[in-house]
């Protein structure tokens, strides 16, 4: 088994030291980017584990030694924008796992908060107001259905935790999938309207591609009006434009939105999403990079790399993720 020099170029705290602990026989070089995003990546780097901007910058510099770059990010839009076609001689992999449990806890945590009227009760506390009104129509989670757009590894972890707290879980994918025990029901895009109409919560986990762009824009969410579900977005902001989302709320097609991702980030201060009473905004933190978790994902791929096996989560320019 051959060992390689590994360069870690990431702003994730302690990442290089964690990789060094997990791979004591390998030479691990730390090239943490400075405040301007610049990093001193050695010219002879063959294996690069880093944030997407570091990977893009290094490849654009034309360093011929690089064979494999593992991104710490799950999204690949910026990679596809930087390189219209696959960079010659380089395999690029994304972080296809490692965020699932954290994102699942984000989703379920916000569902709990909504169903328990936590925010309204907190506001009442600030006013020293004793009022049981916000929880008079409280629902049990066992009575609720969540529909998850996407049935990949992250979606599956969200589904598992939702099922663990008693929710019925539906999953939607582009094409027919094999049975997945995390989901009570699986369907495809052909049944999008029926899928949306049956949900109490709709959670988007889909990547940003030409197929998913504006998938929920226009009057697509009109079918939701009977149940007025809460829309949770931890996938990509491009699935619905801001105008359509606000229209869906105004027309009472949906009952609220929990948004962690946006078409433009940071979300501009002039955006109406910030102040809408039915919207919760968080700054793209549903799946934070935890050094120990993403390092383990890298190590699994590294073991495949040195054994000449196919790597996990290779970026596919055709599919867009």
- What confidence tens digit (pLDDT) does each residue in 241-255 have? 999 999 999 999 999
- Report the chain (321 residues): mean pLDDT per 10 consecutive residues: 82 97 96 90 94 95 87 95 94 93 98 96 97 94 98 96 98 87 96 98 96 97 98 98 98 98 97 98 96 97 97 95 90
Q: Is the dihedral of CA 252, 256, 238, 313 positive or negative?
A: negative
CA distances from 131 to 113, 138, 222, 278 (A): 17, 14, 33, 20
Just give the CATH number of 100-281. Answer: 3.40.50.720
**pTM score, whole prediction:** 0.93
Q: Is the dihedral of CA 92, 56, 89, 300 positive or negative?
A: negative
Each domain of the chain, given as residue ranges in start order, spans 5-98+289-306, 100-281
119-144: string of b/e by CB count within 10 Å (b at 16+)? eeeeebeeeeeeeeeeeeeeeebeeb
Residue 72 and residue 94 in contact, taking contact as beta carbons nearer than 8 Å: no
Topology of 5-98+289-306 in CATH? Answer: Rossmann fold (3.40.50)
Instruction: For residue 131, give both structure tokens.
Output: 């009022």
pLDDT at 3: 63
């Amino acid at each position: 088994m051959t060992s390689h020099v590994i360069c870690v170029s990431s702003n994730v705290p302690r990442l290089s030291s964690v990789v060094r602990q997990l791979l004591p026989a390998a030479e691990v070089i730390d090239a943490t980017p400075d405040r301007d995003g610049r990093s001193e990546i050695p010219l002879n780097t063959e294996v690069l584990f880093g944030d997407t901007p570091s990977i893009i910058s290094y490849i654009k510099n034309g360093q011929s030694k690089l064979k494999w770059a593992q991104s710490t990010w799950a999204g690949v839009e910026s990679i596809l924008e930087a390189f219209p076609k696959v960079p010659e001689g380089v395999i690029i992999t994304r972080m296809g796992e490692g965020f699932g449990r954290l994102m699942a806890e984000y989703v379920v945590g916000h569902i709990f908060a909504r169903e328990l009227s936590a925010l309204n009760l907190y506001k009442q506390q600030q006013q020293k107001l004793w009022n049981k009104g916000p929880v008079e129509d409280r629902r049990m989670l066992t009575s609720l259905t969540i529909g998850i757009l996407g049935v990949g590894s992250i979606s599956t972890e969200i589904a598992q935790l939702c099922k663990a707290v008693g929710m019925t879980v539906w999953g939607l994918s582009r094409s027919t999938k094999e049975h997945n025990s995390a989901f009570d029901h699986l369907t495809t895009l052909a049944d999008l309207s029926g899928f949306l109409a049956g949900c109490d919560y709709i959670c988007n986990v889909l990547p940003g591609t030409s197929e998913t762009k504006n998938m929920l824009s226009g009057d697509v969410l009109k079918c939701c009006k009977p149940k007025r579900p809460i829309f949770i977005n931890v996938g990509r902001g491009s699935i619905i434009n801001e105008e359509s989302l606000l229209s869906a709320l105004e027309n009472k097609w949906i009952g609220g939105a929990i948004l962690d991702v946006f078409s433009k980030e940071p979300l501009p201060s002039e955006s109406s999403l910030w102040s809408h009473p039915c919207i919760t905004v968080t700054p793209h933190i549903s799946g934070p990079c935890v050094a120990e978790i993403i390092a383990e994902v890298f190590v699994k791929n590294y073991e495949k790399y040195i054994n000449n096996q196919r790597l996990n989560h290779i970026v596919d320019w055709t599919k867009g993720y």
